[in-house]
Structure 1
Amino acid sequence: MPVNETLSQYSDWSFTTATAIYLLALVFFLIEQSFGVKGRRAAERSATRVRELVGAGGPSTASEPVEPPPATPSREAGRAERIGRMGVALTVLGLLLHVCALVLRGLAVDRWPWGNMYEYIMAVTLIAVASWLFVLRKFPVRHLSGFMLLPVVILMFVNGTLLYTVAAPVQPALQSYWLVIHVSAAIIASGVFMVPGVASICYLFRSAHERDPRKFARFAPKLPAADVLDRVAYRATVLAFPLFTFGVLCGAVWAESAWGRFWGWDPKETTAFVAWVVYAAYLHSRATAGWRGTRAALINIVGFAVMVFNLFFVNLVTTGFHSYAGLG
């Protein structure tokens, strides 16, 4: 079927606009993080001072107890709060345009829009942003959004400039319903895995600062509490790991149907298996050995690094049965 060039062009415009909006939202989040931390510290000091005054006692009567005045955030904190909310609104707008870009790409080629590396990264970054917006509803980690959007913006910029592929039908080897099942599971898992990857990296800085306030004193206090980052990383990994496992199993079934074997130690297969083992070790250590904190975060970061290696090095440098990046 011929490609609808008009829809393809609209998809490209939507993708470029979404990238620009994410970049603007990133700036807003960084502003909130830079100036909002002062307000949060002032509010914490004010609350601590109020508790000290109450604890010290004061003139009061039994019939009319004296209540301390509430701690009010500074003007800078209020302004930073508004900027942070504007950043969230921009992120939602960027996500809507991101969805439009992916849907229009699929309509333009009349297939599921993840038949090459450009479309794959477009979908992975969309899932990553959607996952992060979900996390924001569950955890007080909005001032971490800049660190989450940074790799997304970098990936989308590289994707739109260096990895861009003209809309076209997929290779015959990919014209299978397994493309929908196997690749969809890999996309969702990879996008969600970005959340614990970023959270675990930030956890190392925050936990080091909590152990020794002199370490990363200018950076770590701007991050959420270490236990919050640890919970975000763990729960996101618990969600993504079964999807990733399902994707690997579906890939094996598709390989048997296409190539006559379930497993052939292809570079893509091998690296995916290594990533699966790392994430399985992370979840197993948390569930049985009670590993928390730095050791668990390091394992999670290793898993994230393997996923990034699998996405770029294996797709762009090595050759194998999975050489479908569409760049050559």
Structure 2
Amino acid sequence: MNLEYYSNAALVTSVVVYLLAMTAYAAEWAAARNAPVEESADRRELAGVGARSAGTPSTHAASSDRSAPDAPASDAPTPDTKTTDAAVEQRMAEMKVELWGRIGVALTVVGFLCSVVGTTLRGLAAGRPPWGNMYEFTITAMVLIVAVYLVMVWRTGARWLGLPVTLLAAVGNGLAVTVFYVAVAPLVPALHSVWFIIHICAAVVSGAAFNIGGLLTVLFLIRQRAEKRGTVSGYLSRIPTARKLDLYAYRFLAFAFPLWTFTVAAGAIWAEYAWGRYWGWDPKETWALVTWVIFACYLHARSTAGWRGTRAAVIALIGVASFWFNFVGINLLVSGLHSYAGV
């Protein structure tokens, strides 16, 4: 047994733990859906407006009610008893949701640590940064994505993002250890450049931001659909409003775009060092440019045309899909100068 073996074992363990974390988050969502929850502030405000528009009972009716004889006593529970029972039920439901959520976060931390150990051991086994192929890029990107999520939980309590993040991490690491895996090998000559490290670092960070922005966009579409139907209930009532989710997604994508621009530029400089030309319309280079154009259109549409909501979200998801096709599809389906980054 060597470092490569323990690296693989740690990454396989991370997949299992991420799946368990995803199950816990799913149980959290289910518990919130099946349990009574407090109305959100916006729904209470709407209810208050409706009550005010309906007016108040007349004085005559009020006096008639006061003049009516007292109702005979019965064994039915009083309003106070019903209120107490509802409060207890609400409290128990909240405790159940909180328990599943905490279990999900704890398992996510464990999976993250296993992923960090596996990625670190892979680098030690290779004697270089673990970014030399598609497998190593994937496991490094998953580490960064989950790290950003955990920071968000710590700083802002964004536990509502746990289900899609752990799903992405489980799928990403699962594909890495089953489909993308390659044994440790020396770098090909084209990768022996400082621009290799610069290019890959920028690609990993921008890729993580693109993916988190994409997950936020999906949640935005789900929440917006519920808001339009007036059916915001269960766990959806606990996540930010559609407007806020749209803003959060925009911030991540706007952060990623200049990094992706730098990634493309650094890749061109690296190509000149490795192959003697800055741009050669290699399939990988071409699709990286396509991805850049899509996100440029997204940012342009928001800043100049004022696009918000569904139209901008569709462009963002097309951009994320283009990013993944550039990363996975081009490597698996098309041969080119970047084929060394494949499986």
**Range of TM-score over shorter length:** 0.7 to 0.9
Find the partner of 1:91 among 108, 130, 133.
108
Matched, 1:103 2:99: no
Deviation at residue 173 of structure 1 after TM alignment: 1.6
Matched, 1:42 2:37: yes
For 2:336, what is the secondary structure of its paired residue? Answer: coil
Matched, 1:278 2:273: no
Higher mean displacement: 74-83 or 301-310: 74-83
Who is 1:25 aligned against? Answer: 21
Gaps in structure 1 of 5+ consecutive residues:
57-67
Find the partner of 2:310 among 274, 294, 310.
294
Q: Is the 8 A contact 1:105 1:113 kept in 2?
A: yes
Deviation at residue 306 of structure 1 after TM alignment: 0.1
Q: Is the 8 A contact 1:98 1:126 kept in 2?
A: yes
Closer/same/farther in 2, CA of residues 129 and 108 from structure 1, 3 Å limit: same
Partner Cα distance (2:202, 2:241) in 1: 31
Deviation per residue, 1:229-274 (Å, 9 max, x gap): 2122111112222221111110011111111211111111111111
Q: Is the 8 A contact 1:141 1:224 kept in 2?
A: no
Q: Normalising by structure 2, what TM-score?
A: 0.81
For 2:129, what is the secondary structure of its paired residue? Answer: coil
Deviation at residue 161 of structure 1 after TM alignment: 1.0
Partner Cα distance (1:131, 1:112) in 2: 20
Q: CA-atom RMSD, angstroms?
A: 3.0
Q: What does 1:152-171 align with in structure 2 at a 5 Å threshold?
A: 152-171=169-188
Q: What does 1:110-189 align with in structure 2 at a 5 Å threshold?
A: 110-137=127-154, 139=156, 141-189=158-206
Q: Is the 8 A contact 1:95 1:129 kept in 2?
A: yes
Partner Cα distance (2:233, 2:106) in 1: 30
Partner Cα distance (2:139, 2:37) in 1: 41
Q: Is the 8 A contact 2:33 2:234 kept in 1?
A: no
Deviation per residue, 1:189-209 (Å, 9 max, x gap): 112211111111222222122
Partner Cα distance (1:141, 1:102) in 2: 26
Partner Cα distance (2:213, 2:152) in 1: 11
Amino acid at match of 2:290: V
Amino acid at match of 1:202: L
Deviation at residue 45 of structure 1 after TM alignment: 7.5
Matched, 1:323 2:335: no
Partner Cα distance (1:98, 1:151) in 2: 13
Deviation at residue 21 of structure 1 after TM alignment: 1.2
Partner Cα distance (1:236, 1:209) in 2: 23
Deviation per residue, 1:167-225 (Å, 9 max, x gap): 121212212222211011111111221111111122222212212247x9899667642
- Percent of residue pairs bearing the same amino acid type: 40
Q: Is the 8 A contact 1:22 1:94 kept in 2?
A: yes
Q: Is the 8 A contact 1:43 1:74 kept in 2?
A: no
Amino acid at match of 2:286: T
Deviation per residue, 1:136-167 (Å, 9 max, x gap): 34555422321222122112112111221111
Q: How many residues are treated as equivalent by the alignment?
A: 309
Q: What does 1:236-255 align with in structure 2 at a 5 Å threshold?
A: 236-255=252-271
Find the partner of 2:273 among 257, 275, 279.
257
Gaps in structure 2 of 5+ consecutive residues:
57-82
Who is 1:231 aligned against? Answer: 247
Amino acid at match of 2:170: V
Partner Cα distance (2:261, 2:40) in 1: 47
Q: Is the 8 A contact 1:127 1:192 kept in 2?
A: no
Question: Bigger radius of gyration, 1 or 2?
Answer: 2
Closer/same/farther in 2, CA of residues 80 and 217 from structure 1, 3 Å limit: closer
Partner Cα distance (1:268, 1:259) in 2: 14
Q: Normalising by structure 1, what TM-score?
A: 0.85
Q: Is the 8 A contact 2:29 2:235 kept in 1?
A: no
Partner Cα distance (1:45, 1:312) in 2: 41
Q: Is the 8 A contact 2:141 2:208 kept in 1?
A: yes
Amino acid at match of 2:22: L
